[in-house]
Structure 1
Amino acid sequence: MMPVAPDQLLRVPLLPVLAAQGLSVRRNAQLLPEPIGPRSGRNGRGPRLRLLIAGDSSAAGVGAGTQTQALSGHLAKELSRHYTVEWQLEAMTGHTTQDTLNRLQVLDGQFDMAVTALGVNDVTRGVTRKKFADRQTLLMNLLVQQFGVRRIVATGVPQMARFPALPQPLAWVLGQQAARLDQALQEVTAGFSQARHLTLNLPDDPALAAPDGYHPSPKTYAIWASEAAALLRQA
């Protein structure tokens, strides 16, 4: 049996505080829309590259005004320097790994590469480490077997303890669980030769957060896309 982590032991005595802080965060949250713009496209010249981007609100680009400023736009721009990129975005605010599985299972098409961004909603919905790992494994298998993906970049679960919108101790508790899920994601990714885990080690810079203090800014999306594109090109 694995030892119980300090944050898990403290959740019960901290429950009234955590509940109050969670309610306050939801009540005062600045709800940013998903960016406008196309969710598929064709960019660049060169060898054909079919790209799938899947996940939650960050994959959808919340925090950017347009898809050009979001992950999809920056990623298409980066890759179009070397390929004819045919890209498709399948992401939605609030989606967990299970939601993304459900969405992709009814999707038609074949892709060469995929970038995923999931985990924050699994944390806030109380998904356990084991369930998260199991669902991520199903997702990897789906991408490889159903869509023929040859390279997957699984973006790490964000460091939620650093989200400006979250007060303490809520930020610490969610941050600890996010770290556990990210460790599980790293282990799952290591089991697939097609997959690479991407850890975004970002500095403490206010310009990297969207106005809601919860999502990436366009500057962060550009950094993320650059690092994801580098991993994809290694394939």
Structure 2
Amino acid sequence: MKRRRVLHPTLVGFLVSLAGLTELTVAAEPVPGTVVLEGFQANPARPRQRLLVVGDSTAVGTGASAPAQSLVGLIGRAHPDWMIRNLALDGAKLEDIAAQLRVGAESYDRLLILGGGNDVIRLSSLPQMREQLNTILSLAKQRSSTVVLMPAGNVGNAPFFFWPLSRWMTQRSRELHALAAQLAAVHEVSYVRLFKERAEDPFVAQAKLLHADDGIHPSDAGYALWLRELQAQAPGLF
């Protein structure tokens, strides 16, 4: 009788994760199962502040139940007298965020940059990420004197990724945040560190609550946590 070969569970997990990574690498679309939103914007008659938001799906609010529950939506709810222009796009890499900053020439009181996760997942090299972040921050400083850089958290901790691919994604996320912190200091902009190691990450301890059903984006509660991090690390700005 011929014996059946059974794949080790670790190998199965790696192959499943690799298939998911391939899907995310070749397509700039939200993961199946997510709610696709348009980024939250606001245009009050007499705005007290003007905020420009650029970035990827985390700035659009993918994973939230409604635009008002996204990070940018929560900022808008906290500051109903702010004008908010949101140029973010699902699937945007750092080079796409740089292109967003080239749209128009208006100045803003505040500028929020949310991105980097797609470069982690879609395997941009460290030199590429350094070059694009330098470009982004240079362009951002031309549009606002108050710039906040807020890269995605530890992508490797997302339930979407199985070990050992999750470990690789964690290392790439760690490298992204090291670059972001370094270049934020060079360009004299604020930097919000969402990266946390697995043992201290609430997105691991409360994965079902803080992640959307796709297992990669924040949920309503996840974006609310991000807002608290933003307010704590960039005090007085949001």
Please give the range of the TM-score, normalised by the shorter of the 2 chains: 0.7 to 0.9
Instruction: Give the equivalent residue in structure 1 for 2:168.
Output: 173
Q: Percent identity?
A: 24
Counterpart in the other structure of 1:197 = 191
- With structure 2 as the length reference, what TM-score do the two structures score? 0.79
Cα separation, 1, equivalents of 2:100 and 2:237: 28
Pairs within 5 Å for 1:117-128: 117-128=114-125
Deviations 1:189-225 (A, max 9, x none): 11122x1111235412120110111000111111222
In 2, are the aligned partners of 1:58 and 1:117 still within 8 Å (CA)?
Answer: yes
- Residue in 1 aligned with 2:178? 183
Structure 2 unaligned residues grouped into runs of 5+: 1-11, 25-30
> Are the counterparts in 2 of residues 43 and 77 from structure 1 also a CA contact under 8 Å?
no
Letter in 1 for 2:218: P
> The residue matched to 2:43 in structure 1 has which SS?
strand
* Aligned partners of 1:153 and 1:228 also within 8 Å: no
Q: Which amino acid aligns with 2:236?
A: R
Match for 1:70: what amino acid? S
94-103 or 106-115: bigger deviation: 106-115
Q: How many angstroms does 1:127 deviate by?
A: 1.1
Question: CA 1:156/1:102 → structure 2, altered by over 3 Å: closer, same or farther?
Answer: closer
The code of the aligned residue for 1:120 comes to G
Aligned length: 213
Shift of 1:234: 5.0
Which residue does 2:219 correspond to in 1? 217
Q: State the superposition RMSD in angstroms.
A: 2.8
Measured against aligned partners, the alpha-carbon deviations of 1:101-153 in whole angstroms (never above 9, x if no partner) come to 122212342211111111111112221112212211111111111x1x12122
Match for residue 37 of structure 2?
35
Q: What are the superposed Cα offsets for residues 164-183 of structure 1, whole Å, 9 maximum, x if unpaired?
A: 11111111111111111111
For 1:66 and 1:211, locate their aligned partners in 2 and report how far apart those are by CA, in whole Å: 14
Change (3 A) 1:185 1:67: same
Aligned-partner SS, 1:41: coil
Any stretches of 5+ residues in structure 1 without a counterpart? 1-15
Counterpart pick for 2:157 among 158, 162, 174: 162
TM-score (norm 1): 0.80
Change (3 A) 1:94 1:234: closer
CA distance in 1 between counterparts of 2:51 and 2:157 reads 30
> Quick one: distance in 1 between partners of 2:58 and 2:98?
17
Moved more, 172-181 or 105-114: 105-114
Q: Distance in 1 between matches of 2:126 and 2:14?
A: 20
